[in-house]
Structure 1
Amino acid sequence: MFLIAVPEDAGKTHLKLLSKLARKVMETRFRDELYAAQYPTEAVATINNIVGLGVS
């Protein structure tokens, strides 16, 4: 489950992020790194490194 929080005036940014995440979840490497994360900060780092979303 992912929570995507964007400003009200962000337009379709949330749809672009969701689309990118959906494609990446199909990749074994991405899933393996997310499953291996022991802390939320590690999961965020995985998303930032692999997907390049700039999530904090």
Structure 2
Amino acid sequence: MSTPSEKEKSVPIELTPEQEEQVMSSTGKAPEAIELSSTELEERIAPRIRLRP
């Protein structure tokens, strides 16, 4: 079994009380943090724009 690469390690993000309320109202679950892989986090911070050729 291989270990995840640096890019695929999860990154926990703590939520503000307002963000927790939004998640709670959408999912019905009370979160304390959200965990994203490094790749997922990078895509949200700097999304790639695809240009048509």
TM-score grouping bracket, smaller chain normalisation: under 0.3
Larger strand share, 1 or 2: 2
TM-score (structure 1 length as normaliser): 0.24
Which structure is higher in RCO with an 8 Å CA cutoff and minimum separation 6? 2
